[in-house]
């Protein structure tokens, strides 16, 4: 997890003064002491590393710059699942250099050296980097036991965080030096809350988005930006408590994990820390609620969202608190299939996004929505607006933050080996543990019967059903296959359509496969040629090469 943002400023190398030795520079920070250009380059790289997006390859670039020859190549280490990542060798080496360096610089400032502004910022970045990673293991789940359940949504009472006092002591030891501003009683709890949010977000993103392909990597990076924006310095200073005002819209084909993306964003929201009680003020992980708009009637949707008062309609025998009212400031409401929302409710939702207020059904008392709205759809909302089914003004309120989930076909075309990772993850989640034998059995069946070029029109959801079918029955029959079809050789139509959907056939291959399919149906070269308007010899040549 090296590179998770903990500081904020990109500082250029200090200029070498004329007459100084080529391997050293004179720093005001060091007084009359000398600091090597290697150490200066390390500090500069750590400043950049500290606030970069940890899911982008730039993180690796900054690690390489900081460690130089000591950097250990690891292929795509930022794609490794956190539960299987083991010890990050590069992070260990970074800390081995950063901790003694920050101690040395702090001692020199206590001895009388005064830093310039750029040097002070680099020192603060280095100190924050060390402080974050020193407490990284303890930040894993310090709120509630329920925070480990990313799919639950049951809020729990936050429990005390025992190590906060030691965190404060270490922070003050780093910053209580001349020339460096000591964080006050408000800033330290806020820094503690930001650190926990970053750890929580990292774990949630990795647990919700599995894969090593470029589309999966980009998706993780985009989710990180949805939570923290692209400028974490600005986020930490000004935006951390304002992100609920920005709505996130997740688009993409059905079955690509839009709800998982929404869950990661909604459960990773900022939660303030109370230093007196030594508790976080809420459980953001449990304050996420999802509603599938396509599964409910307009009346039920309106009641679930806005609530109602007793007697407001037939069956309203008691007051009902809607999800918008129940959602705390740290929480989020996920509106799945927003493209199916009834026009009358679109108007009311637009008012919520514009004014943050709403009314219960049958009530005139205005109520305030304090949380965040996350919406998702697999529909083309642009076409919906053109057809008059979806309001333009609502769309432009929803799309302040857009994320598109890639199809499974896109991911596998970029990285075919991702199929193995996804199958292993599905099996692990189903059985509660890894089962390499079942993984091999599933992949072998897919290779023999569907082929690695199968388009997976149902995306991740279809792959999950495939794995479960093979687990139970040893076979999987894709949707659209005839009841008597034998998966594999007898289901050529499904396989060919899958290849067409995947757009990975040449024109020659497409003609050859289609000729073969028609020939299999009519059993005659002459009839096949008649149906296709081709010469019989051409058909025989095409089918014969299949």
pLDDT confidence band for 458 (50 / 70 / 90)? very high
Residues near 282 by beta carbon (within 8 Å), at least 6 away in sequence: 155, 158, 271, 272, 328, 329, 330, 331
What tokens does 535 get? 């010469």
DSSP string, 226-264: HHH-S-HHHIIIIITTTGGGS-EEEE-STTS-HHHHHHH
Q: Quick check: 15 pLDDT over 70?
A: no
d(CA 19, CA 416): 57
What tokens does 490 get? 């007898």
Q: Which residues make beta-bridge pairs with 361?
A: 308
Residues near 126 by beta carbon (within 8 Å), at least 6 away in sequence: 7, 43, 46, 47, 98, 101, 102, 105
Instruction: For the beta carbon of residue 441, count every other beta carbon within 10 angstroms.
Output: 16
Region 398-425: mean pLDDT is 93
d(CA 445, CA 22): 63
Class of 266-406 in CATH: alpha beta
Instruction: For the beta carbon of residue 486, count every other beta carbon within 10 angstroms.
Output: 12
pLDDT confidence band for 357 (50 / 70 / 90)? very high
Closest CA to 405 of 199, 265, 202: 265
Torsion-angle region of 467 (φ positive above 0: left; ψ -120 to 50: alpha; else: beta): alpha
Domain boundaries, the chain: 24-209, 266-406, 409-504
Q: How many residues does the chain have?
A: 546
pLDDT at 284: 77
Q: Quick check: 517 pLDDT over 80?
A: no
- What is the sign, positive or negative, of the torsion defined by CA atoms of 142, 144, 147, 149? positive
- Residues 361-406 have pLDDT tens digits of 999 999 999 999 999 999 999 999 999 999 999 999 999 999 999 9
400-414, 420-434, 460-474, 482-496: which range is least confident on average?
A: 482-496
Contact 258, 292 (CB under 8 A): no
d(CA 492, CA 26): 73
d(CA 285, CA 268): 7
Q: What are phi and psi of 182, to 5 degrees?
A: -80, 125
21-35, 48-62, 111-125, 178-192: which range is least confident on average?
A: 21-35
């Amino acid at each position: 997890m090296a590179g998770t943002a903990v500081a904020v400023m990109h500082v250029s190398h200090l200029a070498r003064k004329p007459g100084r030795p080529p391997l050293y520079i004179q720093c005001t920070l060091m007084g009359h002491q000398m600091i090597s250009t290697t150490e200066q380059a390390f500090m500069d790289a750590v400043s950049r590393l500290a606030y970069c997006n940890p899911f982008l390859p730039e993180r690796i670039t900054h690690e390489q710059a900081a460690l130089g020859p000591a950097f250990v190549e690891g292929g795509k280490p930022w794609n490794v699942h956190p539960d299987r990542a083991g010890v990050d060798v590069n992070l260990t080496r970074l800390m081995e250099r950063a901790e003694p360096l920050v101690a040395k610089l702090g001692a020199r400032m206590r001895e009388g050296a005064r830093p310039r502004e750029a040097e002070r910022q680099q020192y603060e970045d280095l100190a924050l980097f060390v402080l974050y990673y020193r407490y990284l293991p303890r930040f894993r789940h310090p709120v509630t036991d329920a925070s480990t359940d990313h799919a639950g949504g049951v809020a729990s009472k936050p429990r005390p965080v025992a190590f906060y006092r030691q965190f404060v002591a270490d922070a003050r030891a780093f910053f209580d030096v001349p020339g460096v501003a000591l964080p006050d009683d408000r800033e330290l709890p806020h820094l503690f809350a930001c650190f926990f949010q970053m750890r929580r977000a990292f774990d949630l993103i990795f647990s919700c988005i599995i894969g090593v392909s470029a589309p999966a990597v980009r998706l993780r990076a985009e989710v990180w930006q949805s939570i923290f924006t692209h400028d974490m310095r600005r986020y930490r200073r000004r935006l951390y408590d304002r992100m609920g005002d920005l709505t996130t819209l997740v688009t993409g084909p059905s079955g690509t994990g839009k709800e998982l993306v929404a869950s990661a964003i909604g459960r990773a929201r900022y939660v303030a820390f109370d230093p007196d009680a030594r508790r976080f003020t809420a459980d953001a992980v449990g304050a996420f609620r999802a509603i599938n708009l396509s599964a409910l009637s307009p009346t039920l949707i309106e009641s679930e969202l806005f609530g109602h008062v007793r007697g407001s309609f037939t069956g309203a025998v008691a007051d009902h608190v809607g999800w918008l009212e129940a959602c705390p400031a740290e929480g989020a409401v996920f509106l799945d299939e927003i493209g199916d929302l009834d026009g009358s409710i679109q108007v009311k939702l637009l008012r919520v996004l514009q004014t943050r207020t709403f009314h219960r059904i049958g009530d005139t008392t205005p109520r305030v929505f304090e949380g965040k709205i996350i919406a998702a759809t697999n529909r083309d909302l642009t076409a919906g607006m053109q057809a008059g089914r979806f309001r333009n003004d609502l769309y432009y309120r929803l799309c302040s933050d857009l994320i598109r989930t890639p199809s499974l076909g896109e991911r596998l075309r970029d990285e075919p080996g991702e199929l193995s990772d996804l199958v292993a993850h599905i099996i692990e989640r189903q059985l509660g543990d890894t089962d390499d034998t079942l993984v091999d059995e599933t992949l072998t069946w897919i290779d023999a019967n569907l082929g690695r070029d199968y388009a997976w029109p149902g995306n991740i959801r279809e792959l999950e059903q495939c794995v479960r079918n093979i687990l139970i029955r040893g076979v999987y029959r894709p949707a659209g296959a005839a009841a008597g079809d034998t998966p594999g050789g007898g289901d050529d139509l499904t396989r060919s359509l899958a290849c067409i959907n995947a757009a990975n056939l040449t024109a020659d291959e497409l003609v050859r496969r289609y000729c073969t399919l028609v020939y299999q149906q009519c059993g005659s070269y002459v009839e096949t040629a008649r149906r296709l308007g081709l010469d019989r010899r051409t058909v025989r040549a095409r089918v014969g090469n299949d």
